[in-house]
Amino acid sequence: MIEIYQEENTPVKAFLVGFENLSELKGLVKTLGMEVGGEILISKVKPNPQYYLGTGKTEEIIHNVEVLDCECIIFDFEISPTHQRNWEKLANIPCFDRHEVILRIFESRAATKEATLQVQLANLEYSLPRLAHSYGDMARQRGGAFGSKGSGETKLELDRRKIQEKIYSIKKELEKVRKNRQTQRKQREKIPLPVCALVGYTNAGKSSLLNVLTSSDVYEKDELFATLDTSTRRLSCDGKFSVLLTDTVGFIKNLPHTLVDAFRSTLEEAVISDVLLIVLDASSIDIEENYKTTIKVLDEIGATSNKRIIVLNKWDLVDSFTKIRLSELFKNAICTSTKTKEGLKDLENCIFEICMKNQIQCFVPYEDGKTISLIKRECFIIFENNKEDGIEFTLRTNTEIENLLKEYIL
């Protein structure tokens, strides 16, 4: 990746280029510690072999960059290694696309071994086709005799092989980590608790909701991709019935395929969950687009059969007119605020209502103390009647526990 140097406490000024709304790219740039020095929206064009954009638009961008004294150019679309190199030669400053911006953010956020390996893998797969540009000039300057390979080409092949070997090594290591994750998941499945996955656009407030609902301290910050790893916490109802809440990596529009593939195992938590809490930032002007992106990603990873609860978070930041509009747009949504605590009890009740939909009557003999303990620990008991040879329960529980109680159901 290209290195960008900056003076202490002086953010790098970036010039943004895109086809449409650049608000998301601005958020990514801000998260990376840069500031937006200028921007330009362009019409979609037939790709130019040299700069992707036409000559006139290319000259306009270079002029604006010089006038605004910007130190790098960031494209809100993917550019090829050839286009990247040509732009850098022309502008004489670093140029890269949103793919690399997201990779840089992920690199700075990775906290666990799995996340670190996933980011390393995505980085290497992104860098591999760009290797040739690191040696192009050297190969021409120091080429060997006719019919032989130049020294630059030899170095290129050597580094390419090293990267391919590293990719293979990381994939093997990731497989081990994923097997450990599956083992942990199987251990968790032995405790028959329903799972609710918090999913949604990055920076919608998923980690904040998890923390407030479960009194946890999962890392949270007002920036994109503050969470790259899944975190699971228990949410209890009256100290008895419990569900597991799992925080997941945030979604984003046009997430690079290398990162989708790399974080697929992390997103599996959403696929296997009983309920999806689709968390939306109600204060975002792009909320409708963010919702569409979230649904698209859920469809892509196969999370289509889960029950869903739409949560309009950050409700305290929304004006009265917008509240009316969003309430009509998302009719069954629950509106929440982690600051004012508005709607949190409604959200809890909704989660438990869905997860405890099964009300049953059962009679458990005293000798099966294990099942009686399970009921008293994990079920919402409506009625309990101690009889001579056992206990009669009327309770609400989830499907998993209901299956365990089959032989005792009246």
Q: Are 150 and 141 in contact (CB under 8 A)?
A: no
Residues of the chain falling short of pLDDT 70: 1-9, 111, 131-154, 181-182, 184-192, 217-230, 238-241, 256-266, 357-358
Per-residue pLDDT of 184-206, as tens digits, reads 666 655 556 778 889 888 788 88
Per-residue pLDDT of 20-55, as tens digits, reads 888 888 988 988 889 999 999 988 777 788 999 988
CATH class of 13-106: alpha beta
- DSSP letter for each residue of 245-296: EEE-PPB-TT--HHHHHHTHHHHHHHHH-SEEEEEEETT-TTHHHHHHHHHH
- DSSP letter for each residue of 116-168: HHHHHHHHHHHHGGGHHHHHHHHHHHT--STTS--HHHHHHHHHHHHHHHHHH
Q: Are 214 and 233 in contact (CB under 8 A)?
A: yes
Q: Tell me which CATH homologous superfamily contains domain 191-355.
A: P-loop containing nucleotide triphosphate hydrolases (3.40.50.300)
Domain locations in the chain as residue ranges: 13-106, 110-178, 191-355, 358-408
Identical topology for domains 13-106 and 191-355: yes
Three-state DSSP state, 357: coil
Question: Helices 206-214 and 344-355: crossing angle, nearest 10°?
Answer: 80
pTM score, two decimals? 0.68
Cβ neighbour number for residue 357 with a 10 Å cutoff? 14
